[in-house]
Amino acid sequence: MKEYIKGHKKTLILLFIYALLIVLAFKVKDILIPDEGAEVYGTRLNEIDKYPIEESVYKKIEETLKKNENVEKVSYRVQGKIINYYVTVGEKVSIADAKKIGESIPPLFEEKALSYYSIQIWMIKENKEMNNFPIVGMKNPASSKVVWTLDREITVPETEGESDEE
C-alpha cells in the first residue's frame, strides 16, 4: 500500500484537492442560495386555506363598483395575502370621491377575510396629465380603516421656450 501511495502521490493529492473543491463549492452554493426548494412566501401562507374567498365575492365587488357612474374599469389580483383592486375612475372624479369609492371595497368582504388579508386599492385615471393619480389605499388586517397615499396637486409641465424669468 505504501508503494502505491508513493507511486501515485501527485494523483492522490489532486484527487483530494478536487474532492475538497467540490465540497467547498456546495457549501458556497448553500450560503449564496439558501432554501432553494422553499416556498416564495415561506410559512406566511400556511393558514390561507382557513380563509377562503369565493370567486363570487370578487365578482360581486366588481359589479357593485361598476354600478357607480364614476367607475370605468375594475380588476383585481390576489398575491398571497394581498388583494389588489385596480379601479379606473372618470376624469372629473376628485381625489375625495375616488377615496370614497375605494373605501367601499373592504366592507364588502367578510370579517374573517378582513382579519387575514391586506387589501390594496389603486385608484387610477386614464388621463396621464392628471398626475395627481394614481392614489393608493391600504387596508391592513390589524386596522379597521383604509390608509391613503399623500394627496398630490396637479402639476403642469413647462413647455420648451417658456420661462418665468425675463
Question: Per residue in 28-43, pLDDT tens?
Answer: 988 887 766 666 666 7
Total domains in the chain come to: 2
Cα gap 141→81, rounded to integer Å: 10
Please report, for the domain that includes residue 118, its CATH number.
3.30.70
Nearest to 81 by CA among 42, 55, 137: 42
Work out whether strand 82-89 and strand 71-79 pair parallel, antiparallel, or are unpaired.
antiparallel
For residues 69 and 137, membership in a common domain is answered with yes
For residues 96 and 56, membership in a common domain is answered with yes
Q: Tell me the whole-structure pTM to 2 decimals.
A: 0.65
For residues 11 and 93, membership in a common domain is answered with no
Is the CB of residue 163 less than 8 Å from the CB of residue 138?
A: no
Provide the residue range defining the domain that includes 23.
Answer: 2-32
pLDDT in tens, 105-144: 888 888 888 888 899 999 888 876 666 778 899 988 888 8
Residue 38 lies in a domain: no
For residues 76 and 143, membership in a common domain is answered with yes
